[in-house]
Amino acid sequence: MTENDAAAAGIGRSGLVLEEPLLWERGRAGRSGMSVEESGLSAVRLPAEIAGDGPDWPNLSEPEVVRHYTRLSTWNFGVDTGMYPLGSCTMKYNPKINEFLASLPGFAKAHPLLPESAAQGALRLIRELEEFLAEIVGLEAATLQPAAGAHGELCGMLMIAAWHRQNGGRRDKVLIPDTAHGTNPASAAMCGMGEVKVPLGRDGCLETATVAGLMDEHTAGIMITNPNTLGLFESNLPEICRLVHERGGLVYADGANLNAIMGRVDMGKIGVDVLHYNLHKSMSTPHGGGGPGAGPVAVGERLIPYLPGPRVERLADGSHVWKRDLPLSIGRLHAFHGQFAVCLRAYAYILSLGPEIRTASGLAVLNANYLQAKLKHAFDLPFDRRCMHECVFTDAKQKKRGVSTLDMAKRLIDLGYHPPTVYFPLVVSGAMMIEPTESECKEDLDAFIAALLRVANEAENHPDLLRNAPVRSLAGRMDETTAARRPRLTGDMGRGGDA
C-alpha cells in the first residue's frame, strides 16, 4: 500500500481517533450537565441578556463535554509529547518542579494588592530573580515587568529614547540587521523611531565597516540579536558596540537566543546596554499556546535610572519595600508586578541548575552542531561554520526535484515530528531552522536525523509523496492562505477538501 492509498483508507483517523463535531453541532435541546432540585421558591426574573436572548449555549450532558475536551487535548502536540525543533523558539522541556513550586498556595493564592509586610517572600523572589538574570548575562540590574520578548524590546527602546532625551539629543533612527525578528523594527516604530536596515556580512555576521557607514548623529543605537537568527555568534559585536558608543548611540541586545550563551558570555563587558530575555524560551517556562510568557529586561549602569517602576528594594534590615520615587523611570509597563507566576517558574529553573546553567547552554550548542554535522551532506547549508544553538538549512538541493521546504516540513508530520521553523530568517531563501535544545538525548536526536534523511531521500526518489504530505495526520495539506483568511471551524477535517 502506498502512502496515498493509506490516506484513502482513512489511516490517521481510524482506530480510536474519532471525528469531533463542535459542541453546538452535538447539543440537543433540553440536555443538561446537571440536575438541580426544584427549590420551591418563586421564579426569579432573570435579566433579558441572561434569560431569553442570552448566549446561544449548546445543551449538553457532562460526559459529552468531558469527552469533547479530552479528545481535543489528545490532538495537541507539545514538548511533553515529543521533540519540538522550532528554531528561534527554544522549545525546551519545562521541568515539573517549576509547576510544583508555582502551585504552592503561598504563591498561587497571593493577592497582588497584599501589603508589603504580608508579601515579603514574593518581593524577595522578585529582587533575587532580577539579580540572577542580570548576573547570567553580566549586566547590572533587571526588571520583570515586560510580559513577552516583544514587550521587553519596547521597554528597552523606551529606555534608550528616554536616555537620549535626558542627554540632550533627539535621535529617531535605529540600526536593525536584515536577520532580525520582525518584532525589532515594530518595537522601534512604537517608540517613534525609523528602521535603518543593516545588510548581512559574507560569513552571516554583521561587519563593523557596514555599521560605521550607517551610524550617524540621528541614530539612537542598534538592535542586535546575538547569537543571530542564523544561529551564528556575532563575532564583531565588541567592536560594533565600541563604534556605536563613540558615535553617541546605545546597544540593544535581543536575547531571544540566550539559550546558546547562558552564563557564558558577559554582555556587559562586550558593551551591551540593555537586553531582553524570553523566559518562555531560555528559562524553561511554558510558551502556553502563545502566552503568557515573560520578557524581563536587564541593563548596564547607565540605564538603571530609567527602568520601569516601582522597583523592589532591600533595606538594611533585610526587609523588602516598593520604591516608587524614581524620577527618570519610564513608568509602569504592566499591571502589578509582571507575569509573576511565570517569573516564579524561571526562578525555580535557575535555582535548580545553579552554575550548571552553563552546561545547559553547552549541551544546546553541542546538540545543534551534531544535527548540523549529520545533515549537511543531505541539505544545503548556506553558512558552513560552527553554529550555536540552532542550524539553518535551505531547500536548494531538493528544489531541483520540485520539492520545497514546506513539503519537507509537512512530511515530517507524517514521520511523527513537529516541523522546524520554516522560511525564517528571511535572508535565507527556503530556510529550515532547526533548534533541538539541550532537552533531547542522543537516541532522540538520531531518530530525528533519520527522519530528515528519509525526507531527503524521498525528495530525490518520490517527490510526489512529499508534495501531498501530510497523509497520516488528522488534517491533510491545507491551502495555508485560505486556512488563515477563511478558516472553516466546523465538522470534518476535510482531507483533500478546502481548508
Ligand X SMILES: *Cc1c(COP(=O)(O)O)cnc(C)c1O
Judged by the rule CB under 6 A, the positions of this chain that interact with ligand X are 88, 148-150, 181, 183, 225, 229, 254, 256, 278, 293, 295
Between 293 and 470, whose beta carbon lies closer to ligand X? 293
**How far is it, in rounded angstroms, from Cα 190 to Cα 172?**
11
**How near is the Cβ of 317 to ligand X at its closest, in Å?**
37
Between 228 and 405, whose beta carbon lies closer to ligand X? 228
**How near is the Cβ of 293 to ligand X at its closest, in Å?**
5
**How near is the Cβ of 41 to ligand X at its closest, in Å?**
52
Residues in the chain: 499
Please give the backbone phi and psi of residue 298, each rounded to the nearest 5 degrees, phi first.
Answer: -110, 150
Contact yes or no for 302/163 (Cβ under 8 A): yes
Between 150 and 452, whose beta carbon lies closer to ligand X? 150
Number of helices followed by number of strands (H, E) in the chain: 19, 12
CA gyration radius, the chain = 26
**How near is the Cβ of 88 to ligand X at its closest, in Å?**
4
Between 157 and 456, whose beta carbon lies closer to ligand X? 157
Please give the backbone phi and psi of residue 142, each rounded to the nearest 5 degrees, phi first.
Answer: -145, 160
Do you find a cis peptide bond into 21, omega within 30 degrees of 0?
no
Three-state DSSP at 37 gives: coil
Three-state DSSP at 84 gives: coil
**How near is the Cβ of 74 to ligand X at its closest, in Å?**
27
- Distance (Å) of CA 441 to CA 320, 370, 437, 438, 497: 42, 12, 10, 8, 39
Between 254 and 395, whose beta carbon lies closer to ligand X? 254
**How near is the Cβ of 354 to ligand X at its closest, in Å?**
25
Task: Please state at what angle helix 149-166 crosses helix 183-190, rounded to 10 degrees.
Answer: 40
Contact yes or no for 379/428 (Cβ under 8 A): no
Do you find a cis peptide bond into 185, omega within 30 degrees of 0?
no
**How near is the Cβ of 146 to ligand X at its closest, in Å?**
9
Between 148 and 243, whose beta carbon lies closer to ligand X? 148
**How far is it, in rounded angstroms, from Cα 450 to Cα 416?**
12
Q: Which residue is nearest to ligand X (CB)?
A: 149
Between 85 and 293, whose beta carbon lies closer to ligand X? 293
Do you find a cis peptide bond into 85, omega within 30 degrees of 0?
no
Between 270 and 403, whose beta carbon lies closer to ligand X? 270
The alpha helices in 48-145, defined as continuous H runs, are 62-74, 96-102, 105-108, 120-137
Between 86 and 478, whose beta carbon lies closer to ligand X? 86
Contact yes or no for 269/263 (Cβ under 8 A): no
**How near is the Cβ of 149 to ligand X at its closest, in Å?**
2
Between 271 and 295, whose beta carbon lies closer to ligand X? 295
Contact yes or no for 389/420 (Cβ under 8 A): no
**How near is the Cβ of 444 to ligand X at its closest, in Å?**
23
Three-state DSSP at 216 gives: coil
**How near is the Cβ of 179 to ligand X at its closest, in Å?**
9
Beta strands in 190-344 (DSSP E): 194-198, 219-225, 250-254, 274-276, 297-299, 311-314, 320-323
Cell (9 digits) for 450: 533519520
**How far is it, in rounded angstroms, from Cα 249 to Cα 378?**
44
**How near is the Cβ of 496 to ligand X at its closest, in Å?**
34
Between 148 and 261, whose beta carbon lies closer to ligand X? 148
**How far is it, in rounded angstroms, from Cα 403 to Cα 466?**
7
**How near is the Cβ of 167 to ligand X at its closest, in Å?**
27
Nearest to 124 by CA among 405, 347, 288: 347
Between 104 and 186, whose beta carbon lies closer to ligand X? 186
